[in-house]
Amino acid sequence: EALSGNILTFDHIAGYNNVKQEILESIVMPILSPNTFDEVSKLTRKFPSRNRPRAILFEGDPGVGKTTMAKVVACLCKIPMVYVPIESILSKYYGESSQNLAYVFDAAALFPSALIFLDEIDSLAGSREEGIVEATRKLLSVLLRKLDGFEGKPRTLTLGATNRKQDLDKALLSRFDKSIYFPLPDMRERAAILENYAFHLNEEHRITISSLLEGYSGRNMKDFCDFVERKWASAIIERGVD
């Protein structure tokens, strides 16, 4: 599934300054200026070779912004993003999942540039159901083979996202050149997230509320704000009816 829609920037994700800097240096710059990285390699290495990442892993709890950040990367780099939900491939296309995954990589190779986003790759951690184990094994085998052979083009990259890095197959982990960790937002970051969803509040009120939401992810906070807005709208309607 190729994703399209509104143009996203780093501003759409509050906080996470360290993560954004890592992504800028490890993903955005190498994609936008591949020749510069190649020239540096020629100047420093006895045997010049690729120093740009082929695959990068996003890790962190659910709802911390991994998928949104992948969309931001695609927008910043102005390349198409191919979204591949591994769990859906396993469940919806049982028996054909490995073949479909191979088609995704083959199709992406036809683009001059592309971002392949493998979401929920912890689905490859396996299942106790014998049939699913076999399907997972085949899918993992295809993925490893495609990651090995998918040099792609200078402006092509594979991103993976996982909630459970510790459960992933070691061979799969070794294919990712770098892992970027998305922590849960701290109090200041939660206050910044609230500014996106409740800008009518002043900073003092946002900090007070954020102090009560420790352990919340960005998605949890959006859900919280959605709930409050619905309650507010309902109260207005009820007063109007009365």
Residues 180-223 have pLDDT tens digits of 999 999 999 999 999 988 889 999 999 999 999 999 999 999 99
Question: What's the confidence (pLDDT) of residue 2?
Answer: 41
What would the mean pLDDT of 132-157 be, rounded to a whole number?
76
How much is the mean pLDDT over the chain? 85
Q: Which residue type, as a one-letter code, is found at position 62?
A: P
Q: Which of 208, 174, 216 is nearest to 191 (CA)?
A: 208
Torsion angle in degrees (nearest 10) through CA of 27, 31, 33, 35: 110
Q: Are 2 and 52 in contact (CB under 8 A)?
A: no
Instruction: Tell me the longest C-alpha to C-alpha distance in the chain.
Output: 80
For the record, the structure tokens of 112 come out as: 């001059």
Quick one: pLDDT band at residue 58, thresholds 50, 70, 90?
very high
Interatomic CA distance for residues 141 and 137, integer angstroms = 6
Question: Is 159 in a helix, a strand, or coil?
Answer: strand
Lowest mean per-residue pLDDT among 126-130, 159-163, 218-222: 126-130
d(CA 1, CA 176): 22
Kindly report the backbone phi and psi dihedral angles of residue 234, in degrees, each rounded to the nearest multiple of 5, phi listed first. -65, -40
Dump pLDDT digits (tens) for 5-54: 568 899 888 889 999 999 999 999 998 988 888 888 888 888 877 778 88
Calpha distance 97→92 (Å, rounded)? 8
Q: What is the pLDDT of residue 152?
A: 56
Handedness of CA 165, 171, 176, 177 (dihedral sign): positive
Q: For 39, what's the count of Cα atoms within 13 Å in the CB-facing half-sphere?
A: 4
Handedness of CA 151, 155, 156, 159 (dihedral sign): positive
SS (H, E, C) 110-154: CCCCEEEEEECHHHHHCCCCHHHHHHHHHHHHHHHHHHHHCCCCC
pLDDT score of 125: 66
* Proportion of the chain above pLDDT 90, given as a percent: 43
What's the confidence (pLDDT) of residue 34? 84
Binned at pLDDT 50, 70 and 90, residue 150 comes out as low
Alpha-carbon Rg for the chain in angstroms: 21
Q: Which amino acid is at 163?
A: N
Residue 1 has pLDDT above 70, yes or no: no
pLDDT of residue 127: 43
pLDDT of residue 129: 45
Mapping DSSP to helix (H, G, I), strand (E, B) and coil, where does residue 116 land?
strand
Separation of first and last alpha carbons in the chain: 47
